[in-house]
Amino acid sequence: MSEIRHDWTKEEILEIYNKPLLELVYEAATVHRKYHNPNEVQVSTLLSIKTGGCPEDCAYCPQAARYHTDIETNDLMTVDQVKAQALRAKSSGSSRVCMGAAWRNVEDGPEFDQVLNMVRTINSLDMEVCCTLGMLSESQAKRLAEAGLYAYNHNLDSSEEYYKEIISTRGWEDRLETLNNVRKTNVTVCSGGIIGMGESIEDRAGMLLALASLSPQPESVPINALVSVEGTPLEEQQIVPIWDMIRMVATTRIVLPSTTVRLSAGRTEMSKEGQAFCFMAGAGSIFAGDKLLTTPNPDVNEDMELFNILGINPMKPYAKGAKPTPLPQEEMTPSVDEKVKWSRPGHRIEKNVEATKKANKKRKEAI
């Protein structure tokens, strides 16, 4: 039976990943039943509160300003707009709302104050509230915690080695620093990655090794299948085989046994049977709603139909942790100008450069 370890080796993780599939799923299902209720899955809603215009060059992302995609950019939503969306999500069975903003990093000021009010508002609806806002300083993490944030998402994306093939505008160490800043508060950590970006199986194992080595391990790990979007450097990538997703979910479950494994992007390409296999292998969360930030997602009614077929119940909010109690506004830590210097590696990633040139050409032709 698996136990929580922080001393995994890449070779051990690869050995697990490459086991005969049915043996792998059986082992993962056994671990899942030790640490989790196999008949409960959390339903979460991912809401893009500020869309597009991001200065990063992440090869998978349609929100990068340098690429030419068809997404509609939007300024930061109002608190009332977010509250309405959260109430809609709650009525559909979601117990968590994750708010995403297309920022490189959080900057103190009116927009961050607005996000803090959003956090406080969703917390008051008795829903878990998660944010993914980019890189985060220690004091910013503290202010989010004081507002009632339950979780902060900041994905490692891939292994440290393959990360350099996907992103040149921020460093791997900045990802770890952000997670470390979150850990200095009572906010839980959500960090995972994407498969299907052209990485090797060794890279997948490397990402899990990095996550498992954190102490404590993340409370949740999203496993995303790349959704290739026209105009991004990865637009030609093939759909991830469902068997790869099942293997990745199962391996994550064994290596990080107490963590909630989140079956995230790419579910529109998965059959009901494939998703059921993922639940058996240890997935304990899905994102509901017709969009995951900017990419398609199954309709919530389809998800509830699948839950009924499988006998799965949506998890209640705060099933795995106490509800945070926000501080009164007047007791919140005041904003400080920390002048955090996040890295900009700036190395050349040929496919990202070519996608940028292609986008610039399209923009000139449109003038």
Which residues are CB-contacts of 213 (< 8 A; sequence separation ≥ 6)?
6, 7, 8
pLDDT given for residue 290 in this prediction? 53
* Locus of tokens 């944030």: 149
Strands (E), the chain: 40-50, 96-101, 128-132, 151-153, 188-190, 193-195, 220-225, 260-263, 283-288, 291-292, 295-296, 313-314
- Of residues 336 and 321, which shows the higher confidence score? 321
Taking 90 as the threshold, does the pLDDT of residue 72 lie above it?
no
What's the whole-number mean pLDDT along residues 171-186? 95
- Of residues 95 and 335, which shows the higher confidence score? 95
Q: For a pLDDT cut of 70, what percent of the chain falls above it?
A: 95
Catalytic annotation, residues: 54, 58, 61, 98, 130, 190, 262
Ramachandran quadrant class, 133 (left: phi over 0; alpha: psi -120 to 50; beta: rest) = alpha
pLDDT given for residue 361 in this prediction? 78
Contact status, residue 249 vs residue 263, Cβ threshold 8 Å? yes
What would the two tokens of residue 117 be? 């009010």
pLDDT (tens digit per residue) in 79-96: 999 999 999 999 888 999
Integer Cα distance of 59 and 349 in angstroms = 9
Q: How confident is the model at residue 128 (pLDDT cuts 50, 70, 90)?
A: very high
Contact status, residue 137 vs residue 340, Cβ threshold 8 Å? yes
pLDDT given for residue 283 in this prediction? 96
pTM for the full predicted model: 0.93
- Of residues 239 and 346, which shows the higher confidence score? 239
CB atoms within 10 A of CB 299: 14
3-state secondary structure 10-66: HHHHHHHHCCCHHHHHHHHHHHHHHHCCCCEEEEEEEEEEEECCECCCCCCCCCECC
Integer Cα distance of 163 and 171 in angstroms = 9
Integer Cα distance of 295 and 268 in angstroms = 10
pLDDT given for residue 61 in this prediction? 85
